Structure 1
C-alpha cells in the first residue's frame, strides 16, 4: 500500500514544531512545544488539498464540539483552534500517549482494565449524548491515554447532532469492524443504539485481541466483515478470566436488534459496574454532569443505590455465607486514581470490617464528582444547624432491603451520606438506598445531610432483617 508523504508543518505563532506524530486521511498530527505556558501539545492540521468550504465547516464543528465536551475527564482536551498563515485549519490538543489500537493485538489487556475503560469512556459518550452529540466513530484507535493513564475519547470529526437529518451530499464516515448493522445497511447514519453497539464492539476487541467478527486466518475484507456483522451470531469470547456476565453484557450491547440493546450508554456503564461488583472490585467512578444526574435520580426509583452486604451480625450466630469469587485477581489492575473516594475508602476498610460492601448500581458514587472531592474522613465535625433525617423506613423483599426517607429540606448542593453498619458512607441525592444481604441477616443504616464539608446529625439507626434462611 502506497502511503502519502506527510504535509509540511505550518508555522504557528507561539509554538515550535518538534516532529510528526501521525497521518490520516484528512489531517496530519504534529508534536509542537507551546512557548507560553511551556508544554508539549499535539496539533492536528488539515491537509491543504482537502480544505474546502465543507471540510472547513466540519473542522470548525469538531473544534466547537471538542471545546464544549473536553472538560469531561474522559474526552480529549482541546486548548485552541485557528487557521495557519497558509490557510490550513488546526487544533491544539492535549498530548496523549499510544491509543489502544497499538495494544490489543500485541498484549492481553486485563479484564479489570477493560471494565475500567468501558465505564470511563461510556461516561464520556453518555455526556456527549446529553449534549445532543453522537460521536459516530467509536473504536479502539480513537481512545487515547493521558500522561496519567486515563483513557480519553478523541476525534469527533464526523460527529453529528442527535436527531439531525443528514443533508443531501453529506458524507458519513464509518469504521466497519465496529459499526452497527443498521449503519452498515444504510438504515441510519447513527443513533444512540449504534453508539452502544460500537462501545460494546470496542470492549470486545480489547478483550479478544481482534475485532468482533474478524476471523483469524480467514477472509477479513470489508465485504466479508459486513456480511458477518449483519447476519452472523457474535462469536464467543475466548477469555477464561472473563466472567460469563461480562460476555452477556457485550452480547446484549451488540444485538442485531437495537431494541434489545442497552438503551443508553449509561445503562451499559451500569451493567459494566455490576460485573466489577461481581468480581469483588470497587466500582469505577462514572463521571456524569451533576445537575442532570441529580435531577435524573431524584424521581426515578430505578436509580437508587444498591449495596451488597455480607455481615457476621446475624441472629442465628452463624458466620456469613461466603460468595464464590472469580479466579480473576481482583486486586491487580484497577488504578486507585480511577475510583471514587468513598469506593477507595470502602475497599481499604474491607480487609478488616464487618461488612464487605460492593456497589451494584453506583448512582451514589457517580455524584461524588459534585464538588465533594474531600474524602469521607476529612469531613469536619457535626453541624447541628443542618437538617436531620428523622423518618427512615425499611421495606424487605427477599434478600433486598430498601431504606427510604423524606427530604428534610436539603438545599441545592447538599447530599446524603448513607452508612451501612458504620462503614464508610455512600454519597447521593436520592432519598432511597437498597442493600442486598445474606438471607436472615440484619442490616442497619444511618443517614446524614452533608454540606460544604460539614455533616449534620445522624438519623436514628434503622435496622431490618432480610428474608430467607
Structure 2
C-alpha cells in the first residue's frame, strides 16, 4: 500500500478502530481490534471517491476468492466482508504486522535459505489457487505479508481471475509492471499459471537483490522504460556471490520471455527450489497444496528407496495426507553431490576406506574415458558441430511427479559477416547429445523478442542478408526432455 493519506475509518460493529496501516489506489487499510474474541484485524475499506460498480464488483470478487482459499497457511485469511449503507464495502482479514517483503527488501538482502523457503511456501499458495482455477495476476513483494512467526501470507487478490482460454483475452486487467511477464504487458494474455510463475520468480529475484529484475539503479525505471527491457533483455544475474548458479538458472528459466519455456506450474517451480535446498544442504521446506477433496495437506512424507523405485500410476495427483517432496537433483559442477532424494539435510563426516579408494580410482578412469569419447564424437560427419554428451547441470522437474529435466546454461552467442549473410555461433557449458537450439532473428534488437522462433540443429548457423543489412539474433538451448535455457543476449551483426 502507498503512503497517501487514508480516508475516514468506518464504524464497524464489534470492531474498535486503532490506526491506519496504508492506502492504495482504490482502498484504505486500517488496524482494528476485534472485541470477541479480542484480537487485532486488518480491515480493507473501499474509497468512496471514484467508486464505480466495476470496482465494487472486483472488491466483492476479491473477498470471495480469498475466502475460498482461506484455509491455506500461506494465504491471508479473510474473516468477513460486508457492504456499507453508503454504498462502500469493507473486508476483515487476519492482521500481519509490518513490514511486508517489499519493505524488508529495501532494508536488507534476504539470505538464500530464507528466499528458497519463502519461494516454496508461496508457490504452495499459488499452486493451490491454480488448482481452484484462480490466477493471482499481481504477485510482487508488496503483496506478501509476514506473520509474527515468520510465515509469508499472499494477499491482494484484487485483480485475480478465473483461468481463461486464449480466445477470452479481451478483459482489461491492471498489472504491476516490474514483476509482470511480457505476454501480459503487451496484451497477448490476461495471465495464466505460467504468468504467475514468472511473477513469483521475479519476486524472489527482488528479495535477493532489493529491486525488481529489470530496474536500472539511477536509470529510467518508468513503466514505459521497463516494458521493452522485460520483453527483450535477458534476465540479469543477481550479482551475489552466495547465490548458487543453480538458483540463478532456475530464476532465469522461470522468467523466460515465452510462457512455454518456463516451468509450467507453480509446483514445478517449488520442486526446483526444493532441489536447490537439497543441493545446498538446507533444511527441507514442504510443499503444501490443496488435495482433491478440498483440504490442505500438511503431513510431510519422504519416499523410501523401495517406494521410489515402484511406479505410481497416480503420481500426478496429490492426496491427503501428503506434501510434495523434492525430486532427485543433479548438482552443478561446484555443488556437493547427493546420493538420492532422501539424503539427510545436514552434512555427514567423510570417511575413506581402502575399498572406497580403489572405487574412486575406477571412477576417475571412467571419467577420463568418457572425456575422450566426448572429444572424439563432438564433430559429426559433415564437419558441423552438434551438441554431444552428458555433463553435470542444474535441474528441475518438468512436471508434477515427472522426471528431473536438466536446464541448460544460457549460451554465449557471437556472429560474423560472411559472403551473403551473417554466420552465428554460440557456446555453453554442459553440452548434451541431442541438444538443439531455438533462434529468434530480426533486423533490429527491438524486434527480436517478437520474432518467429527457428529451430536450429547444427552450428554455425548462417542467416542470409544483403551486404550492409543488420541481422540481430539470440538463441536458447533446448533439450528433447523439454527443458529450455534462458535466451542469450542479443547479438547484432552487419551482413558482409
TM-score range normalised by the length of the shorter chain: 0.5 to 0.7
Say yes or no: does 1:137 pair with 2:152. no
- Range with bigger deviation, 48-57 or 300-309: 300-309
Say yes or no: does 1:58 pair with 2:28. no
Deviation at 1:353, TM superposition (A): 12
Map 1:157-306 → 2, pairs under 5 A: 157-163=158-164, 170-291=171-292, 298-300=313-315
Counterparts of 2:403 and 2:175, CA distance in 1? 42
Counterparts of 2:272 and 2:326, CA distance in 1? 14
Deviation at 1:218, TM superposition (A): 1.4
Q: Secondary structure at the match of 2:145?
A: strand
Counterparts of 1:196 and 1:306, CA distance in 2? 19
Counterparts of 2:16 and 2:167, CA distance in 1? 39
Over 3 Å counting, the alpha-carbon distance change for 1:210 and 1:353 in structure 2 is: same
Over 3 Å counting, the alpha-carbon distance change for 1:307 and 1:158 in structure 2 is: closer
Counterparts of 1:208 and 1:433, CA distance in 2? 31
Q: Do the aligned residues in 2 keep the contact of 1:197 with 1:254 (CA within 8 Å)?
A: yes
Deviation at 1:347, TM superposition (A): 4.5
Over 3 Å counting, the alpha-carbon distance change for 1:165 and 1:157 in structure 2 is: farther
TM-score (norm 1): 0.64
Over 3 Å counting, the alpha-carbon distance change for 1:15 and 1:152 in structure 2 is: same
Counterparts of 1:165 and 1:175, CA distance in 2? 21
Gaps of 5+ in 2: 302-310, 318-323, 352-365, 367-399, 405-496
Counterparts of 2:327 and 2:110, CA distance in 1? 29
Counterparts of 1:103 and 1:237, CA distance in 2? 17
Over 3 Å counting, the alpha-carbon distance change for 1:282 and 1:304 in structure 2 is: closer
What CA deviation, in whole Å up to 9, does each residue of 1:358-403 have, x standing for no partner?
xxxxxxxxxxxxxxxxxxxxxxxxxxxxxxxxxxxxxxxx9xxxxx
Map 1:312-351 → 2, pairs under 5 A: 325=336, 347=345
What CA deviation, in whole Å up to 9, does each residue of 1:106-135 have, x standing for no partner?
211100000001000011000000000000
Gaps of 5+ in 1: 310-322, 327-342, 355-397, 399-429, 435-469
Deviation at 1:5, TM superposition (A): 3.4
What CA deviation, in whole Å up to 9, does each residue of 1:218-243 have, x standing for no partner?
11111110010111111122010000
Q: Do the aligned residues in 2 keep the contact of 1:77 with 1:94 (CA within 8 Å)?
A: yes
Q: Do the aligned residues in 1 keep the contact of 2:138 with 2:159 (CA within 8 Å)?
A: yes
Q: Do the aligned residues in 2 keep the contact of 1:76 with 1:153 (CA within 8 Å)?
A: yes
What CA deviation, in whole Å up to 9, does each residue of 1:22-49 have, x standing for no partner?
0000100000000111101000000012
**Equivalent in the alignment of 2:21:** 21
RMSD of aligned residue pairs (Cα, Å): 3.6
Deviation at 1:99, TM superposition (A): 0.8
Map 1:53-92 → 2, pairs under 5 A: 53-92=53-92
Counterparts of 1:235 and 1:431, CA distance in 2? 30
Say yes or no: does 1:32 pair with 2:32. yes
Q: Do the aligned residues in 2 keep the contact of 1:305 with 1:433 (CA within 8 Å)?
A: no
Deviation at 1:85, TM superposition (A): 3.8
Q: Do the aligned residues in 1 keep the contact of 2:287 with 2:325 (CA within 8 Å)?
A: no
Q: Do the aligned residues in 2 keep the contact of 1:134 with 1:159 (CA within 8 Å)?
A: yes
Counterparts of 2:212 and 2:162, CA distance in 1? 27
Counterparts of 1:166 and 1:130, CA distance in 2? 21
TM-score (norm 2): 0.60
Q: Do the aligned residues in 1 keep the contact of 2:19 with 2:32 (CA within 8 Å)?
A: yes
**Equivalent in the alignment of 2:156:** 155
**Equivalent in the alignment of 2:46:** 46
Q: Do the aligned residues in 1 keep the contact of 2:48 with 2:88 (CA within 8 Å)?
A: yes
- When the two structures are aligned, how many residues end up with a matched partner? 329
Say yes or no: does 1:100 pair with 2:101. yes
Counterparts of 1:433 and 1:190, CA distance in 2? 27
Over 3 Å counting, the alpha-carbon distance change for 1:165 and 1:42 in structure 2 is: farther
Counterparts of 1:166 and 1:35, CA distance in 2? 49
Counterparts of 2:56 and 2:167, CA distance in 1? 17
Q: Do the aligned residues in 2 keep the contact of 1:31 with 1:40 (CA within 8 Å)?
A: yes
Q: Secondary structure at the match of 2:130?
A: helix
Q: Secondary structure at the match of 2:250?
A: helix
Q: Secondary structure at the match of 1:117?
A: helix
Q: Do the aligned residues in 2 keep the contact of 1:109 with 1:206 (CA within 8 Å)?
A: yes
Deviation at 1:297, TM superposition (A): 6.4
**Equivalent in the alignment of 1:114:** 115
Counterparts of 2:335 and 2:187, CA distance in 1? 46
Counterparts of 2:194 and 2:327, CA distance in 1? 26
Counterparts of 1:301 and 1:8, CA distance in 2? 50
Q: Do the aligned residues in 1 keep the contact of 2:277 with 2:284 (CA within 8 Å)?
A: yes
Deviation at 1:87, TM superposition (A): 2.9
**Equivalent in the alignment of 2:125:** 124
Deviation at 1:74, TM superposition (A): 0.9
Q: Do the aligned residues in 1 keep the contact of 2:279 with 2:335 (CA within 8 Å)?
A: no
Q: Do the aligned residues in 1 keep the contact of 2:316 with 2:401 (CA within 8 Å)?
A: no
